């Protein structure tokens, strides 16, 4: 029965994506197993021992990939007893300082990306983010159908992090149409709480 329910949910999600019925991630919420490949690629940029805040943790697919890391899962609703609940679109951000902020498929759904990135940069030394830039998805109608709120170009994303004290260290295009960016604090700058 669970398989049938999941299949029906996928069909419904596909229809809603085509008709543009979604207004937010909460309405869309769907987890595709193929996203694990993206998360594995992103996890390569996290060193053993670094503390990690997983912003928009979803099913916490990052957690088993970590080696000797402190893991802080954060999402808009409780995923398990360890989840910190925060709705970023209500300007809620946890008071957690971590070496690495991890955003896999999260930034697209953030209404106030300036505020959100400012919070990240003030509490983390590094940010590993996957983001579907406007170069990858230029059609605003498609972006809106996916309930994406943020519409940044690659250059816009780099500028957003740069104005908040983080520069691009690395970039990966392994995942088609979903580039991965690694930003780090400039030398001499530390997260301010």
What is the per-residue pLDDT across 42-61, written as a single tens digit (0 to 9) for each?
Answer: 999 999 999 999 999 999 99
Confidence label for 186 from pLDDT (cuts 50, 70 and 90): confident
Confidence label for 193 from pLDDT (cuts 50, 70 and 90): low
- Where would I find the H helices in 97-162? 113-123, 140-145, 154-162
Tokens of 35: 């996203």
- pTM of the predicted structure, to 2 decimals: 0.83
Closest CA to 54 of 42, 45, 62, 44: 62
The number of residues in the chain equals: 193
Q: Burial code of 20-53, b = ≥16 C-beta within 10 A, e = fewer?
A: eebeebeebebeeeebbebbebbbebbeeebbbb
- The Cα diameter of the chain in Å comes to 56
Decide: residue 16, CB within 10 A, 0-12 exposed, 13-18 middle, 19+ buried: middle
Asked if pLDDT for residue 113 goes beyond 90, the answer is yes
13-46 pLDDT per residue, tens: 554 444 455 555 455 566 667 779 999 999 999 9
Strand arrangement, sheet containing 180-185: 84-85, 71-75, 52-55, 98-104, 124-130, 180-185, 166-172
The class that CATH gives domain 31-185 is alpha beta
Residue, of 83 and 192, whose pLDDT is higher: 83
Asked if pLDDT for residue 179 goes beyond 90, the answer is yes
Sort strands 84-85 and 71-75 into parallel, antiparallel or unpaired. Answer: parallel
Mean pLDDT for the stretch of residues 150-157: 98
Tokens of 77: 């609703």
Q: What pLDDT sits at residue 65? A: 97
Helix H or strand E segment including 16: helix 2-19
Q: What pLDDT sits at residue 19? A: 44
Q: What pLDDT sits at residue 18? A: 45
């Amino acid at each position: 029965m669970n398989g049938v329910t999941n299949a029906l949910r996928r069909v419904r999600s596909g229809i809603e994506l085509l008709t543009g019925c979604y207004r937010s991630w909460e309405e869309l919420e769907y987890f595709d197993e193929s996203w694990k490949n993206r998360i594995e690629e992103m996890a390569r940029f996290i060193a053993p021992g670094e503390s990690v805040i997983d912003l928009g943790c979803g099913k916490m697919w990052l957690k088993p990939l970590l080696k000797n890391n402190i893991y802080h899962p954060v999402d808009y609703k409780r995923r398990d007893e360890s989840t910190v609940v925060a709705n970023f679109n209500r300007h809620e951000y946890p008071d957690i300082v971590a070496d690495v902020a991890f955003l896999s498929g999260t930034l697209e759904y953030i209404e106030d990306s300036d505020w959100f990135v400012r919070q990240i940069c003030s509490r983390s030394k590094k940010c590993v983010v996957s983001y579907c830039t406007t170069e990858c998805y230029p059609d605003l109608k498609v972006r809106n159908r996916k309930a994406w709120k943020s519409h940044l170009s690659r250059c816009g994303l780099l500028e957003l992090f740069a104005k908040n004290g983080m520069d691009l260290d690395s970039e990966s295009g392994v995942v088609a149409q979903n580039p991965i960016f690694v930003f780090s604090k400039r030398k001499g700058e530390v997260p301010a709480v």
